[in-house]
A and B are shown apart, each in its own frame.
Chain A
Amino acid sequence: MKINPKEVGDICILEIEGEVDAEHSVQLKKAIVKAREDYAKHFILDLSGVSFIDSTGLGVLISLMRHLNENNGKLKLAGLQDEVRSIFEITRLYKVFDLCPSAEDALREMPKKK
């Protein structure tokens, strides 16, 4: 799995490529924690390159969402492939996550830094 972080003000965009499973979730968690500690208040996870996500991966996203909810941060998931989208539908998690067609759309909807 490849993770490419981009910094836009206090927003961290993580472009993720590959499979977000139990093994790679640790890597994703570390990237999130680093960005949070360094600068990020809000996150956009660009999942357009993600072909598979399992329950451990979803667990990482849920933890991030909980953390951001408690700290007035926003999380947007962008560019989900059909396979990944269907996992969000099956688990009904599409109801609690903010899903956007692309990272650009997600960025436009993010709060502007004052």
Chain B
Amino acid sequence: MMKTARRFKKEMSFKSLKGLERQVAKLLKELAAVPFFSNLPKSLVGDLKLGILEGLSNAFLHGGSDARRPARLSLEALPRSIEIRIEDWGEGFAFQAALRRRPSDFEANGRGLIILKNLFDSVQYRKGRPNRLVLVRKLARPKKLDDAIELFNLLQEGIQQLRPKHHLYDRFLDFVVERFNVERASFLLFDPETQRLRVATSRGLSSKIVSKIAVASGEGVAGYVFKTSRPLLVNNAGKQRSGGPRLRRQGYHTSSFVSVPVIASPMHIGEETIGVLNLTDKRDGTRFTANELKLLNVMAAQAASAFRIRDLLDTVKQHEGLNRELEIVHEIQSRLVPEHFPRVGDLEVGGHCQLSMRGGGDYYDVIQVGEGLRGVVADVSGHDVGSAITMASFRAIFRSMVFDPNSPGYLQQVLRWAMHEDLIKLHQFISCWVFEYRADGELRVSGAGHPPLLHYQAVQKKWHAIFSNHLPLGLEDESKPQNKKIELAKGDVLIFYTDGLFDPRMRATGFDKQNFCETIERHLHLSAPELVREIAREVSPHHLALQKPDDIAVLVLRRRP
């Protein structure tokens, strides 16, 4: 069975400098064709190109490579780094001395190594037969994704095994302590009874200190972060801004400290900060960076979602005398689907989820990102607790990645990587649409095995179907992430739905796609939420008439005329 490619390796030999740039550009295109490396920043691709050209030019101009003794290039891309090896058969040179040397303004040579040293994380040269130059560039983004996905899998496993909550807390804290290489860390949970933050688990703090910690909202750094729900990076405790939080003297030996809120977001009651995560004292003595704070924030959001799911399972398990499994499914599903949607410009959003008695994994979500929106509509196969938990996990991943500045196709691919192993283990798959709406009316969508979108074009008075371009999640899809552009003009309506909406069995009672489109056309004057209510009214009797109805989820986007 093929796995999603996360590695690329190619070796080439060059007999002259002729056509070098074209060949290198072609090589980098091949690299970008591998889905995992398709979103490398342009600046990084530019650096790779420059590094290869510089190294190969050296091999010919100073290394003595020619048609008889071609220079060899090897490019190997791994999830966390890209390595370029260039070999030549010339005399070689004293690398360290060349690095120390600073060329005068009028010298033609001598700058290449300085450039390489600035562009790459590691530049090594070995003189010999052949001479070998090795350039390594670390990939920061995949590492971030890998870390976030690894944490997600770790927590997901804990949930599936119904481990106690404190077990999840410990796994979470151990993970961040290792990833951020810190000596001290604490995870504080808010106790509504005492109205204090107390330590749920910690590393590197004495039990005496831990037992004493009881922080009120707004008090100290943790209390401040809890109250404001905003992450905080303190890199010089002695020079804090007046009015800001004070770092409490608790024996920290560095002045670098990060604190992030752990926010769960059950949509129908608004966001809720459940605790605070503090890290301090990096083992290597360095300070925390803004990027690390951002990554920690993503991880805290993932953990909060996992803790929330675990809480829900506990709550529902306590219900007695009811059909337990269905209760769990309904509880999870209904709590995680949003009831209110963000408003952006003249775009209206309406959503409706009709759960069947058996429950399932239909889901949609819409989040405001900057001036636009990002959203997803998905359907997890199956109708049991497993489907509902998978849906909740999908939501957690989507929400933790939604702010990354990547295309819907890339986001869909991240979801695919993250969910793949679980879906195989659980014999499930997920079909979905991921979309991004910009304030100027441009919509980009990427579909994975999901029913087509229905786009009503107001000017032409026509319906247009947009089909998925990828296989469902849970199946290997080696193709490059694809996005489709949709111009959503004023008065246009776009409908996302799950397969239950056009269950062919409802034709017997007179409901099909044509009726549906006619209903929409009769009510084009209505707003998106009103349209959704009309859809629900229209489909409900047919849906209820089925012996074993499937779930239905409908999400409507409409631009006001």
Establish whether residues B499 and A59, one from each chain, have CB atoms under 8 Å apart when the complex forms. Answer: no
- Which interface class (under 10, 10 to 19, 20 to 34, 35 or more) fits B? 20 to 34
* Contacting residues, chain B, for A37 (C-beta < 8 A): none
Given A22-B358, A54-B550, A66-B1, residue A87 in contact with residue B499 (CB < 8 A): yes
Please report the C-alpha to C-alpha distance between residue A56 and residue B505 in the assembled complex, in whole angstroms: 16
Tell me the complex Cα distance, A59–B428, Å: 6
Of the residues A51, A55, A60, A95, contact of B499 by C-beta under 8 Å: A55
Q: Assess whether B449 is interfacial by the CB under 8 Å rule.
A: yes
A23 at the interface (CB under 8 A from B): yes
- On whether the beta carbons of B381 and A59 are closer than 8 Å, the reply is yes
B1 touches A56 (CB 8 A): no
The answer for the CA separation of A96 and B550 in the assembled complex, in Å, is 25
Q: Is the CB of B382 within 8 A of A91?
A: no
Residues of chain A lying within 8 A (CB to CB) of residue B451: 90
Residue pair A54, B499 in contact (C-beta under 8 Å): yes
Secondary structure at chain B's binding surface: helix, strand, loop or mixed? loop
**Residue count of chain A within 8 Å CB distance of chain B:** 25
Complex CA gap A70/B2 in Å reads 10
B505, A66: Cβ atoms under 8 Å? no
Check: B472 CB closer than 8 A to any chain A CB: yes
A107, B323: Cα distance in complex, Å = 44
Which A residues are CB-close (under 8 A) to B548?
21-23
Given contacts A52-B504, A83-B504, A92-B449, contact A66 B471 (CB under 8 A): no
Is A93 at the interface (CB under 8 A from chain B)? Answer: yes
Is A31 among interface residues, defined by CB-CB distance under 8 A? no
User: Are B427 and A95 in touch, CB under 8 angstroms?
Assistant: no
A58 at interface by CB-CB < 8 Å: yes
Is A63 an interface position by the 8 A CB rule? yes
Contacts A62-B475, A90-B468, A93-B475 known; list 8 others, CB within 8 Å: A21-B550, A23-B548, A55-B382, A58-B429, A59-B427, A59-B428, A92-B449, A96-B471
Q: Give me the interface of A with B, judged by CB distance under 8 Å.
A: 19, 21-23, 51-52, 54-56, 58-60, 62-63, 66, 69-70, 83, 87, 90-93, 95-96
Interface residue ranges, B against A (CB under 8 Å): 1, 358, 360, 379-383, 424, 427-429, 431, 449-452, 467-468, 470-472, 474-475, 499, 503-505, 548, 550
